[in-house]
Structure 1
Amino acid sequence: MLLFSIIAAAIAPGIALLTFFYLKDRYDSEPLHMVIKVFLVGFLIVLPIMIIQRGMSLWFGDHPFLYSFVISAGVEEFVKWFLLYHLIYNHTEFDEPYDGILYAVAISLGFATIENIMYAWFNHASLGALMIRALLPVSGHALFGVIMGYYLGRAKFSEGKLTRRFLLYSLVMPLFWHGVYDLILGTMTHFWLWYIVPLMMVLWYGGMGKVTRANNRSPFRLLKREEEVKL
């Protein structure tokens, strides 16, 4: 029973956050089966990413800066970006800017959920430890997904040089913030909380702003207003 409770606690944050961001889609909700599929893709990439990271760690060593920005954040964010670009970016369901956020959050939380289950299983984690992970790494992955998806949405509905610029931002920006997050946790043993809490506050504030701006750019916004006026 205790094991079941711990596994449930490891899964719950990812499901709760995905539900939160799904409900933030104000104008044209995505098909739930599509969101779940992308969430499950996040499950599948954990093992290949771990293998790549292990090989890179053996090859390059564990220098904190290199590990944080290249081996950890670099590999994870690139794989998520690569799959989103090839599976979702040109999909017919990607029809408003917020969809980029939702699908990027879905794949990120799928990855974070399996990571959380593995942590709980191999470290015999307490419920308290899982609560901390819900507030930090799981929500961190979700917010990196918001950043990636926001710029994917901007790229999708831009033209020319702006498209290429936003595509670059969609990879570089989440990678940067993820790297900063990992560097803090990897190098600070005593005062990390004084840095990670402000960082998470900045990410949440910025992330919610991106959610609002993405929704405001929806082509369905005016249609919904017209329907409300008619009623």
Structure 2
Amino acid sequence: MLLFSVLAAAIAPGIALLAYFYWKDRYDAEPLHVVIKLFLAGVLIVLPVMIIQRGLLLWIGDESPVAFSFITSAGVEEFVKWFVLYHIIYNHTEFDEPYDGIVYATAVSLGFATVENVLYAFTEPVTFGMLLARALLPVSGHALFGVFMGYSLGKAKFSAGRAVKLHLALALLTPLFAHGLYDYLMQTIPSEWLWVMVPFMFLLWLRGIRSVNHANARSPFRWVKREEEIKF
């Protein structure tokens, strides 16, 4: 029973956050089976990410918080997520509005974060309070990094010319910077000063919600829905 409770506590935050961002799609909800496919892709990339990170640790070590945060941790994780999204969903027919990038990117990110949370729960001595703290920090952090990636992917998908490459690059660099900064702060701030992560996470959420609203506002389906409401 305790094993099931710990497992549920480790999985629940990722599922809840994915449901939240899925339901924030105001105009044209994505097929659930495609979202689940991307979530499972996030689950599957955990092993190759761990192998690459292990190789980098052996090569460059972990003495430098900057190198570890922005290369070994955030660099590898965000690049692999970006690579999977670009090759699986970017040219998919269901990617038909800017907000779709956010849904699919958060699905991949939260699949990854959920496995990471489960591994932490069963390899470290944890309490439910610690799992709650992880839900508020690393799990929601991964969700927001996914929002930043998906927002730029959505802009790239519906741009033209040089703007496409610019937004594709931002889809990688923006979450990489936010993730790297998060990891750097977690490594370098003394435990008694960890409260400074609260305003940092607040700023991430503020930026994330703004991205959600801007992406929804650019949906080509919003006019269709308005016309349907007027006719009704």
TM bin (shorter chain): over 0.9
2:105 and 2:192 map into 1 onto residues whose CA distance is: 31
Measured after TM superposition, the shift of residue 126 of structure 1 is 1.2
Summarize the Cα distance change of 1:192–1:35 in structure 2 as closer, same or farther, 3 Å threshold: farther
Letter of the 1:21 counterpart: F
1:31 corresponds to: 31
Query: Could you say which residue in structure 1 is the equivalent of 2:15?
Result: 15
Q: Which amino acid in the other structure matches residue 219 of structure 2? A: S
Displacement of 1:141 in angstroms is: 0.0
Q: Is the 8 A contact 1:18 1:105 kept in 2?
A: yes
Which residue pairs with 1:223 in the alignment?
A: 224
**Does residue 167 in structure 1 map to residue 177 in structure 2?**
no
Instruction: Tell me, yes or no, if the aligned pair for 1:101 and 1:153 is still in contact at 8 Å.
Output: yes
- Structure 2 CA distance for aligned equivalents of residues 13 and 137 of structure 1: 10
Which residue does 2:134 correspond to in 1?
A: 133
Alignment of 1:208-219 (within 5 A): 208-219=209-220
What are the Cα deviations for residues 17-41 of structure 1, in whole angstroms up to 9, with x where unaligned? 0000000000000000000010001
RMSD: 0.8
Supply the distance in 2 between the matched residues of 1:100 and 1:18 (Cα, whole angstroms): 13
1:160-199 alignment, distance < 5 Å:
160-199=161-200
Please show how residues 58-207 of structure 1 align to structure 2 within 5 Å.
58-62=58-62, 63-207=64-208
Question: CA–CA distance in 1 between the matches of 2:146 and 2:3?
Answer: 29
The code of the aligned residue for 1:214 comes to: A
Output the CA distance in 1 between the equivalents of 2:195 and 2:223.
44
Task: Give the residue type in structure 2 aligned to 1:133.
Answer: R
Q: What is the DSSP-based 3-state SS (H/G/I as helix, E as strand, rest coil) of the residue aligned with 2:96?
A: coil
CA drift at 1:219: 0.4
Please tell me whether the aligned partners of residues 13 and 134 of structure 1 are also in contact (alpha carbons under 8 angstroms).
yes
Structure 2: distance between partners of 1:192 and 1:139: 20
Letter in 2 for 1:137: P
CA drift at 1:209: 0.5
8 Å CA contact 1:97–1:217 kept in 2: the answer is yes
Instruction: Please name the residue that 1:51 is paired with.
Output: 51
Question: How far apart are the structure 1 equivalents of 2:47 and 2:137?
Answer: 21
Q: Matched residues in 1 for 2:115 and 2:23: separation?
A: 23
Q: CA deviation at 1:191?
A: 4.3
Distance 2:122 2:211 in 1: 35
- Residue 192 of structure 1 and its aligned partner are, at CA, apart by 4.1
- Counterpart Cα distance in 2 of 1:176 and 1:160: 25
Instruction: Select between 120-129 and 96-105 the one with higher mean Cα deviation.
Output: 120-129
Cα distance in 2 for residues equivalent to 1:36 and 1:132: 25
Distance 1:196 1:66 in 2: 20
SS in 2 for 1:16: helix
Structure 1 residue 163, shift from structure 2 partner: 0.8
- State the partner residue of 2:41: 41
Give aligned-pair identity as a percent. Answer: 65
